[in-house]
Copies of this chain bind each other. A is one copy, B any other.
Amino acid sequence: MSAPVRYDEYLQIDKILSAQQRISELKGRPAHDEMLFIIIHQVYELWFKQMLFELSRVLEIFNQAKVKDSELQTVVRALERINEIFRILVQQVTVLETMTPFDFLDFRNDLYPASGFQSLQFRILETQLGLAASKRVSFAGTSYINHLPPDQKLIIEKELTRPSLKEGLEKWLERTPFVSEGTFDFWKTYFTSVQTMFAEDMEMVRKNPRLNEEEKAQSIKRLESSLHQFKSLESDEEFEKLKTAGLFEFSRKATLSALFIMIYNHEPILHNPFQIMDHLQDLDESITQWRSRHAQMAHRMIGVKIGTGGSSGADYLHKTVTQQKLFSDFSNLSTFLIPRSKIPALPENIRKKMGFTDF
């Protein structure tokens, strides 16, 4: 039996609450709202720590040669927690927005050149999730990494050498069982089904007495273009083009597995894998929302640069919103879905291995 625990000592409240030093106060003209500025950023950092803590467990799991289903559930829950935290991060921007630009100006210049987008933890988080250095929007003409203090630059460079969640996911997806087993080759069956479906659709158009020739030509063209999209999945060469175009980052094998998981997500063994994909898309949306709210808030606080060649922080932030997506591979998969009725049935022996006893 140990000494009784005191709430304030346990939580190190004194330490936490003595870490707010307003520069404006040090300079003898305290700006009331600087306290909010400090505290909200510290809250962000605490949440970032928690997310990194969850993520480290997830990375450990995916860095194994094999992953157990019970571990997948741990991943699902970790992502659910991270997503709940992100919901809060996005919502609490409204707290900072109770500060007017004029109140911000009371201490804004005191912070120079520090600014709100210099959180090391957030950079680590992005890197561990899988944001490639090459995808980062550059700022003031050079890679964002060169804007970091040397000690932090080293840390990020080291992080970049470790396998990210995205890389771990890719290898795990490539191992997805059942896609091809014994004489069963899922993709052969799937593409045959796609082919038949489009052939039937085109036939229906050609025979449709209510369409004139021009309308028919237009419909056929639309169907051909849709069919053509599927070709990109059928060979490594074609898929490479999608990767070059920035539409996919995963390998073709991993991408096909992800599609398989999406299609058969109701099978028990694919439940957790599907949730992981789903939660990562939610995470991506949350990060995007957070960037977007942050960019708008910065715009509102500091205005715009007029008549200079230089780009502003707000511009930079706006670009990160659309260009630094992490898991658009999964969203882009929807391009390759076909109606449920056209999906080939799984062989019974395989389907059986994917589930449990009913009760």
A178 to B307, CA, bound (A): 31
Report Cα–Cα, A13/B100, bound state, in Å. 25
Give how many copies assemble into the complex.
4
Contacts of A338 in B (CB 8 A): 105
Tell me, rounded to whole Å, the shortest Cβ–Cβ distance linking A41 to chain B.
5
A347 within 8 A of B: no
Given contacts A6-B114, A332-B303, A335-B303, contact A77 B98 (CB under 8 A): yes
- Whether the pair B5, A112 counts as a contact (CB closer than 8 A) is yes
Identify A288's interface contact among B42, B49, B66, B296, CB under 8 A.
B296
Q: How large is the interface on A (under 10, 10 to 19, 20 to 34, 35 or more residues)?
A: 35 or more
Contact B359 A356 (CB under 8 A): no
Is A115's beta carbon under 8 Å from chain B?
yes
Q: Which residues on the B side are within 8 Å of A304 (C-beta)? A: 247, 331-332, 335
The binding surface of chain A is classed by DSSP as helix
Question: What are the interface flags for A38-62 relative to B under an 8 Å C-beta threshold, 1 for contact and 0 otherwise?
Answer: 1111110111011001000100000
Contacts of A355 in B (CB 8 A): 68-70
Taking a contact as CB atoms under 8 Å apart, the answer to whether B106 and A66 are in contact is no
Sample of 15 more A-B contacts, CB < 8 Å, known A4-B113, A69-B358: A1-B210, A5-B113, A16-B19, A17-B46, A35-B53, A46-B46, A88-B88, A101-B262, A102-B265, A268-B269, A285-B296, A292-B321, A296-B331, A303-B337, A304-B332
The 6 closest A-B pairs by CB, nearest first: A303-B335, A303-B334, A7-B118, A12-B19, A101-B334, A81-B98
